């Protein structure tokens, strides 16, 4: 499968058409952005790490019954996946208070939440990705009906349970993360985008150190080492079996 026409370029990936109209190739970039693009940098090898981490996690979720766009990893930087109609909602799942949740609501950072909090953001850079409630989603025609929102929310919670168990076995706390969904050629809502430390907030369970893009946001350094550690732990768990 070869890259043809460039379809889209975002902050972290380029999306290419292929000879099959139902399949696309994502090329993972080494670029880093934070604070709505105000902070930018490059981290050599970051794209390859995110691609490999995403591939293993998509395979894990597929095995557990979650439908995704993932087909296969082509090489270290390229992933083959299904073409979908992107639903313009970023789904945020939070288990521990951190980041904007602590800042906006005054909940002390590192507070373990009594339940997994699922939030919706409008996937719109020009507007700064504002928060959405269910009525906003319907008003903006981001979904066809409220049942689709309930399916997305239910699936996000299911993914959180599955990933939380997996990361716990790897001595990593799954603090929060972002998911995206799309509709496949048959109209089914499936998980898309990527599953990587760029979109996850991960803390080492023993040291409490950040293992995600907060290392870039906060100027901590060591981002590649942290991502490499996440990949090694996931690969080790994969070899031992997911059960």
Q: What is the mean pLDDT of the segment spanning 149-169?
A: 97
| pTM of the predicted structure, to 2 decimals | 0.95
> Does 101 have pLDDT greater than 70?
yes
**pLDDT confidence band for 240 (50 / 70 / 90):** confident
- Inter-residue contact 84 to 190 (CB < 8 Å): yes
pLDDT of residue 22: 97
**Cα–Cα distance for residue pair 94/188, rounded to 1 Å:** 25
pLDDT of 1-34, one tens digit each? Answer: 899 999 999 999 999 999 999 999 999 999 998 8
pLDDT of residue 237: 86
Query: In the Cβ-directed half-sphere of 151, how many Cα atoms lie within 13 Å?
Result: 17
What are 17's strand-pairing partners? Answer: 24
The mean per-residue pLDDT over the stretch 145-172 comes to 97
What pLDDT, on a 0 to 100 scale, did the predictor assign at position 14? 97
**What length does the chain have?**
243
Domains of the chain: 6-82 (3.30.200.20), 85-221 (3.30.470.20)
Residue pLDDT, tens place only, 103-140: 999 999 999 999 999 999 999 989 999 999 999 999 99
Tell me the pLDDT band of 51, cut-offs 50, 70 and 90: very high
pLDDT of res. 243: 66
Asked whether residue 42 carries a pLDDT value surpassing 70, the answer given is yes
> Which whole-number Å values give the CA distances from 90 to 93, 131, 171, in the listed order?
10, 9, 27
Q: Which of 13-17, 126-130, 166-170, 237-241 has the lowest mean pLDDT?
A: 237-241
Give the mean model confidence (pLDDT) for residues 38-61: 95
């Amino acid at each position: 499968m070869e890259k043809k026409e460039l379809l889209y370029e975002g902050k972290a990936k380029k999306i290419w058409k292929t000879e099959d109209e139902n399949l696309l190739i994502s090329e993972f970039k080494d670029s880093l952005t934070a604070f709505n693009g105000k902070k930018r940098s490059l981290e050599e090898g970051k794209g390859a790490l995110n691609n490999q981490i995403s591939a293993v996690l998509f395979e894990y979720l597929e095995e557990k019954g979650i439908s995704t766009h993932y087909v296969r990893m082509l090489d270290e930087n390229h992933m083959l996946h299904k073409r979908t109609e992107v639903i313009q909602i970023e789904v945020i799942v939070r288990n521990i208070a951190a980041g904007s949740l602590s800042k906006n609501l005054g909940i002390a950072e590192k507070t373990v939440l009594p339940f997994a909090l699922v939030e919706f953001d409008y996937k719109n850079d020009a507007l700064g990705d504002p928060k959405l409630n269910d009525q906003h989603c319907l008003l903006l025609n981001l979904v066809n009906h409220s049942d689709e929102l309930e399916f997305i929310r239910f699936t996000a919670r299911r993914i959180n349970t599955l990933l939380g168990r997996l990361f716990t076995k790897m001595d990593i706390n799954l603090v929060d993360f972002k998911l995206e969904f799309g509709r496949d050629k048959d109209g089914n809502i499936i998980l898309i985008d990527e599953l990587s430390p760029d979109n996850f907030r991960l803390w080492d369970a023993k040291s409490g150190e950040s293992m995600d893009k907060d290392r870039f946001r906060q100027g901590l350094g060591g981002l590649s080492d942290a991502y490499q550690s996440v990949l090694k732990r996931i690969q080790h768990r994969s070899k031992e079996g997911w059960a």
